[in-house]
Amino acid sequence: MNKHLLWSILLAFGLWSCGGKSPSNENNSSNNSTNTQDSATQHTTTTNSSNTGTEQPSGDDEKPDDATTNAVTTVKGYFEGLTNGDYEAAASNFANKVDLWITIKNTTPKAIATEAKRFLSTKENVKYTPNLAGMAFKDNKARVVVRQEWKNYDVTLEVLLELDDAAKIKSYKEGKIYKMKIVKPSALEAYLSKISQFNYPVKVSSSQFSNFKDMGIEGKQLLIGESFPGENFQDVGYFNISGDLVGILHVRGYRSSQEFILGVFNRKSGKMLSLQSIGFMGGSHVLSGYNTSCNIEINNDGSIVNNWNNTEKSPIDGSIKKSSGQTLFQVTPNGQIKRN
């Protein structure tokens, strides 16, 4: 019994010795692993440190070549010329022979300058803004988006161009419209677009009466309040005074007598500021044998001079009496018309 117990104890002790690990062996294994990792880490850090400052960028920013730069300069010069009203300078960006300009085929820079002046010189606040930063250019062909503006007009569209080797435009075509904003003109602007514009000094006289055209509905709605039966109205023209002020001349008549009427408007608001008769002409439906004529001059300082002549025939003895004189008016800075 004692022998069996002794063998059992010895067998258990042997099995424990074969499968167990001593604390010293475990620590040694852990230290070896740590040393290996530290060595690898140190090697990686050293390698990265040695490469610091030696990495090259992925690629330099692309710079436009000479052909692209010259094309941009040409396109910019053309639209700057149109904006500044220098049509010859604008047309100088075209080749001597142009295949197409908008809708005109086989033309020249001189013809382009003439047509551009005809079309744009009567417009106000002309401005062309090309998106040069977004301009595409390849094989002498370009595409650029341009905003075209003038009074009551605002359109953004694409322009397709073809240039020659000297960076001169030989084909110019307007393409897709991206945005269109056409401002409906006010009643004042609609009327001004239908009548003549005068430059200083503005001169009108009774001798021109037969040249004036009957006033249309736009003018009557703008200038005439209530009218009497038998009255007639004629358009004369308009002139810019200063700032937003504009003067409009028309004729108001009744039977054989007429008078020149001047109205001053604020062009921005469209409101009438003053209305004044500045000259009389024709005969009198009350006094027979009475006739008058006038010569009116309006200057850019707002002064108005009416030189008039009267002829009156006596109903008693038929004698004729003549008289002449001068009537003065002044348009003030705030748009009022005062008689001096």
Nearest alpha-carbon partner for 95 in 167, 177, 9: 167
Distance CA 179, CA 44 (A): 59
Q: Which domains does the chain have, with CATH numbers?
A: 66-181 (3.10.450.50), 187-339 (no CATH)
Pairing label, strands 98-101, 169-181: parallel
> For the chain (length 340 residues), average pLDDT per consecutive 10?
47 45 40 40 37 38 78 96 97 96 96 96 93 92 94 90 96 89 74 93 91 88 76 93 93 86 90 90 61 91 94 78 92 93
CA dist list (Å): 108 to 79, 84, 95, 113:
17, 21, 8, 9
For position 185, what pLDDT does the model report?
A: 65
Structure tokens at 31: 């230290």
Contact 92, 112 (CB under 8 A): no
Reported as a single tens digit per residue, the pLDDT across 241-279 is 988 899 999 999 887 788 999 999 998 888 899 999 999
Contact 116, 90 (CB under 8 A): yes
Q: Which amino acid is at 292?
A: T
Kindly give, in sequence order, each residue whose CB lies less than 8 Å from that of residue 97, ignoring residues fewer than 6 positions away.
106, 108, 170
For position 62, what pLDDT does the model report?
A: 59
For position 46, what pLDDT does the model report?
A: 37
Contact 250, 215 (CB under 8 A): yes
Nearest alpha-carbon partner for 204 in 122, 255, 280: 280
pTM greater than the 0.75 cutoff: no
Nearest alpha-carbon partner for 250 in 213, 200, 301: 213
Distance CA 237, CA 191 (A): 10
CA dist list (Å): 9 to 15, 19, 21:
10, 16, 20
For position 78, what pLDDT does the model report?
A: 97
Distance CA 99, CA 207 (A): 51
